[in-house]
Structures are given as C-alpha cells and as structure tokens.
Amino acid sequence: MKVGGQQINVTNLVICTVGILILVVVGIFPAHQTLKELDQKIAALQYQVKEQNLLFPLFVQLLQRSRQEAPPLLPAPEPKKLPRGETAVLTNLFREIADTNNIAVESLRPDVESLIAASGRFKMLAELSGGFYDLRSFLIQLGGIPYLGDIEHLRLQSATEDRTLQVTMRFWVLQE
C-alpha cells in the first residue's frame, strides 16, 4: 500500500494501532476511572461540609448552654389524686405551663377507656409543638404537677421548615 508516495507496511499499521489501543487501555481509561472516584469523594465531602455548616450554630448554642449554671433541683411534689370530674383543673394547669414555655397545645384529651376503668388513674393524650429548649423547660415544670403519675410515651419529631418539634405524649394521671 502506498500513501503519499511512501510504502506503508500493513504490519506497521497494525503495530501502531495496537500500541495506541494499549496506551488508551493502560493509561487513559484507569485515569478516567480514578477521576470519577475522586469526583464522588469530593461530592460526599462537600455534602458533609454543608451539613456541618448547618449544624454549627446548634453546636455553638449547645456549647454555650453547657457552660451555664446547672438548673435548680427538679420539682418532686408529693403525689396527690385528682378528684373525679375535675379534669378541667389539670387541663388548665397543663395549658398554663405550656403557654409560659412557648409550647402550643394542639390536642389534650383523656383516654376514654382508662376513664371507665376504676383503677385509680387515667391516661391523657397530648399533642404539642414548640422549640427544643422550650420543651425541656416545659417537661421540668410538668414534673411539678402533683397529679401526674408517669409519662408512658414521649415522641419527638422535628419539623425542618420552622425548626420546631412535634411532640406526642401519653401520661397517667392519679385519680380518686
């Protein structure tokens, strides 16, 4: 075969083509794969940096709160039984404590089945929303209610759009 007046040997052409293919397979393809892996690691690290930037203000706030003085002792009143038919006293007290701690009471109702059973206590169901630190103060003050027996269930779920917590709780109230 003649190209441009020179004789090109087919074996030379095949050898050059194989050499180029070996260069691509041995040199360029692994480098491309390595670049892909590095891009994935970079994306993961960028995500972690964004996540840490979002959590840093919370960390600073928690650090400042940890350096504050310890709160006074938790309230532990003598248990008292709520007279029958006076659940309004308890709900008013509950809502008052919630209001002073910027907690919104969405629902507060007694469990009907536990009211019927004469076991000396009944179950209340509450749905609340508010800030994390407000909830802590609310729970401490809630412990000062003498009618409160036990908190059976406490579920916290964050609402990311406005940084509040949705709280669902079931608690037992001592009753005569």
Domain covering 87-174, topology: Alpha-Beta Plaits (3.30.70)
Q: What is the pLDDT of residue 166?
A: 87
Domains of the chain, residue spans: 2-66, 87-174
Q: Which amino acid is at 39?
A: D
Three-state secondary structure readout of 114-140: HHHCCCCEEEEEEEEEECHHHHHHHHH
Q: Calculate the CA 122 to chain-centre distance.
A: 31
Cα-Cα-Cα-Cα torsion 144, 148, 153, 159, nearest 10 degrees, comes to -50
Q: What is the pLDDT of residue 69?
A: 74
Q: Identify whether the C-beta of residue 139 lies closer than 8 Å to the C-beta of residue 98.
A: no
Q: What is the pLDDT of residue 133?
A: 78
Taking the C-alpha atoms of residue 120 and residue 27, their distance in angstroms, rounded to an integer, is: 81
Q: What is the pLDDT of residue 1?
A: 55
Q: Which amino acid is at 77?
A: P
Q: What is the pLDDT of residue 5?
A: 52
Q: What is the pLDDT of residue 127?
A: 93
Q: What is the pLDDT of residue 68?
A: 76
**Which residues in the chain land under pLDDT 70?**
1-8, 70-72, 160-161
Q: Identify whether the C-beta of residue 115 lies closer than 8 Å to the C-beta of residue 87.
A: no
Q: Identify whether the C-beta of residue 81 lies closer than 8 Å to the C-beta of residue 176.
A: yes
Q: What is the pLDDT of residue 146?
A: 87
Q: What are the CB-based long-range contacts (under 8 Å, 24+) for 82-89?
A: 82/147, 82/173, 82/174, 82/175, 82/176, 83/175, 83/176, 84/175, 84/176, 87/173
- Number of CB atoms found within 10 A of residue 139's CB: 17
Q: Identify whether the C-beta of residue 22 lies closer than 8 Å to the C-beta of residue 30.
A: no
